[in-house]
Amino acid sequence: MPRRALLPLCLVALAMAGCGGGKKEDAQTKAAREAAEAYVHDLGNRDGEAVCGDVTTELRKQITDAVVRANPQVEGRSCGEIMTLILRSLPSDQLDQFTTAKIENTKVTGKKGTFVYRLHDIRVDGQVTRAEGPWKVSCCVPGQG
């Protein structure tokens, strides 16, 4: 897969990951933060299958559709296989940085939540959703609302 074709997906991965703690949280806020933390853990471990399980169905579709448009030869592959290809294309030192990422300002209202993702000088507003079942990362890429 061409490296430049993976760039948009690398941004997706970078934007949605995060970990860290915070002040005393209620159970839903804690669960929402832990969803983002699980995502970053799975990214750092280069576990494409688990990463796909950490995001909403809609976001999984957006990721796989974008990769297939840029790389038709991967059509028919699962999200886990596609995410593994993305993760393998990233330099190890980039993925290793996810272990020091921070999730801050997690807020939950009903079945939606927000958080701020920090990785060194990068700050991204992220979103989590709990439609049915556990919280899942649902957004965001820098510049996406």
Q: What's the CA dihedral at 105, 16, 54, 107 to 10 degrees?
A: 20
**Residue-level pLDDT at 134:** 95
**Residue-level pLDDT at 13:** 47
pTM of the full structure: 0.75
- Inter-residue contact 117 to 126 (CB < 8 Å): yes
Residue with tokens 């976001």: 59
Rounded CA gap, 40 and 37, in Å? 5
* pLDDT in 10s for each residue of the chain, 145 residues: 555 555 445 444 444 443 344 456 799 999 999 998 888 788 888 899 999 999 999 999 999 999 999 999 999 999 999 999 999 988 888 888 777 778 888 999 999 999 887 777 778 788 999 987 899 999 865 434 4
- Inter-residue contact 17 to 98 (CB < 8 Å): yes
Contacts of 108 (CB under 8 A, 6+ apart): 26, 28, 29, 32, 128
Rounded CA gap, 141 and 119, in Å? 14
The full set of domain ranges for the chain reads 3-139
**Residue-level pLDDT at 144:** 41
**Residue-level pLDDT at 21:** 43
**Residue-level pLDDT at 3:** 52
Across the beta sheet with 112-119, the strand order is 102-109, 112-119, 122-129, 136-139
Fold of domain 3-139: Nuclear Transport Factor 2; Chain: A, (3.10.450)
